[in-house]
Structure 1
Amino acid sequence: MSQSLLERQDQDGVARLTLARPHAYNSLSLELMQALHAELDRIADDISIRCVVIRGAGKGFCAGHDLKQMLGEGEEAYYRCTFETCSKLMQRIVSLPVPVIAQVHGVATAAGCQLVASADLAVAAEDTRFATPGVNIGLFCSTPMVALSRAVQPKHAMELLLTGDLIDAERALAMGLINQAVPGDALEASVTVLAEKIASKSRKALQIGKQAFYRQREMSLADAYAYCSEVMVGNMLTDDAQEGIDAFINKRAPQWQHR
């Protein structure tokens, strides 16, 4: 992990990943996306981590792709590499075995908005602004559209994509893009409460549930029930499920083994 691009802090089962390009509103350079993907790969194998928080340093969460870098390169192969890297990063967030929370402040635009939409949960400061403004510069936000169209209703997604307009956190909350809009001075504490609540659970149960959530969503109703029934059978056979049920019956705190 490059300390100049990404910072990681672990505490109480929560890994906090800070995008560290504040001079560029944490825009997603190719190198930053690669660093973030590599760190998520490490977290996937780290049994001590049960929740991830992604946040940005400085005045904003993330302003999208680094357009200066992209324009400076100016080659099709570089553009292809950039968008493929971004797509793989967003899919890694979804496939990560533990939940990911976006801690959002300032701005979350274009691929930054995509990052919010890709996270499992999102908490934003009330003065945050969101947009997919690519249409304003002749570059439609097609890859952000993938995450956005899965996070909010189609007409809300199309409104953001077609107008390029900024929306506030209250509107983002109403759309379902974020889970909470809180005062700026309460953002850190609000995310910490949520992350620590999740981190207190069985990592095995979190992994099973997150994976099943995204898989069943693309299935028919009957197929989803058949699949999730099998998932619950497998979950029931895990050590943590047996421990959790016994702890509940005997009114004691469970001792997770994360298996």
Structure 2
Amino acid sequence: MGISSSHTENGIVEVTIDFPPVNALPARGWFELAETITCAGEDEDARVVVLRAENRGFCAGVDLKEMQRTPGHDALIAANRGCAKAFGAVYDCAVPVIAAVQGFCLGGGVGLVGNADVVIASEDAYFGLPEVDRGALGAATHLARLVPQHLMRALYYTASNVTAAQLHHHGSVYRVVARDALDDAARELAQEIAKKDTAVIRRAKEAINGIDPQRVHTSYRFEQGFTFELNLTGAADRARQAFVDGNHARQANDS
């Protein structure tokens, strides 16, 4: 459980998220993910990274329960810094990062996927930012890399989801496959990239980032500043607690 990585002989590094049941990452998980991806890119034998996940969905974002049970703002600050580190690690990784997404990809999951080089998704995959319902702001930077501007705004304001098929239509998801074929599809693409001259691919990644019109690091941290403002007013804490209480109520009804 946690973040793990495995290497193949042809230079493919698979990084796996595994925080059951829904891959809601605690603060330490975001930092661990950032370090693992960064180290993968720094490995001279690495040619491409596949970012995947176990469990029901790719990522449910930040562990809000951890935030609510931790006094003060330490957990919030750690989660925000951890997310920034992890999203940045995907974007800055020295080799291409392929995100293999199944089921739900929410909140911080969108931050990871939006900064990936290529996205492959299962037919049941869907993406969304429930941030406004959780008293937080962030990752509009990354959602804007997946959908057009006005659609991003509508999805953000309503906390609505968008399907893998819709993102494929917009060109941000490269392939949509059956869930049981997801890992194979990601590995197939990774193998194609791994065949290329790694020196050329690494410079290609650097060059593409260099001409990117969006400054993902600064725009995301700008968004996060408003999350801190919402915390100072108490609005964020009320929204998070309502979410946690709602989860507890649903679990009680299911038992």
TM-score, structure 1 length as denominator?
Answer: 0.77
Whole-angstrom distance in 2 between the partners of 1:164 and 1:14: 35
Percent of matched pairs sharing the same residue: 28
Q: Could you tell me which residue of structure 1 aligns to residue 121 of structure 2?
A: 124
Q: Could you tell me which residue of structure 1 aligns to residue 210 of structure 2?
A: 215
Residues 154-165 of structure 1 correspond to what in structure 2 (within 5 A)? Answer: 154-165=149-160
Question: Residue 31 of structure 1: CA displacement?
Answer: 1.3
| 1:26 corresponds to which of 10, 23, 38 | 23
Question: Residue 74 of structure 1: CA displacement?
Answer: 4.1
Contact 1:156 1:175 in 2 (8 A): no
Question: Residue 136 of structure 1: CA displacement?
Answer: 2.3
Question: Residue 172 of structure 1: CA displacement?
Answer: 2.1
One-letter amino acid of the counterpart of residue 145, structure 1: A
Q: Could you tell me which residue of structure 1 aligns to residue 85 of structure 2?
A: 88
Q: Could you tell me which residue of structure 2 aligns to residue 58 of structure 1?
A: 55
Gaps in structure 1 of 5+ consecutive residues: 220-259
- List per-residue Cα deviations over 1:28-78 (Å, max 9, x = no partner): 211111111111232122111100011111111100111111111142233
Matched, 1:167 2:188: no
Q: Could you tell me which residue of structure 2 aligns to residue 110 of structure 1?
A: 107
Matched, 1:148 2:146: no
Whole-angstrom distance in 2 between the partners of 1:112 and 1:215: 24
TM-score, structure 2 length as denominator?
Answer: 0.79
Matched, 1:137 2:130: no
Which stretches of structure 1, 4 residues or more, deviate above 4 A after TM superposition?
none
Contact 2:28 2:82 in 1 (8 A): no
Matched, 1:48 2:63: no
- Higher alpha-carbon Rg: 1
Q: Could you tell me which residue of structure 2 aligns to residue 187 of structure 1?
A: 182
Whole-angstrom distance in 2 between the partners of 1:201 and 1:87: 30
Aligned length: 213
Q: Could you tell me which residue of structure 2 aligns to residue 17 of structure 1?
A: 15
One-letter amino acid of the counterpart of residue 106, structure 1: G
Contact 2:146 2:167 in 1 (8 A): no
One-letter amino acid of the counterpart of residue 81, structure 1: A
Gaps in structure 2 of 5+ consecutive residues: 215-255
Structure scoring higher RCO (CA < 8 A, sep ≥ 6) equals 2
Q: Specify whether residues 5 and 196 from structure 1 end up closer, same or farther in structure 2 by C-alpha distance, changes over 3 A only.
A: same
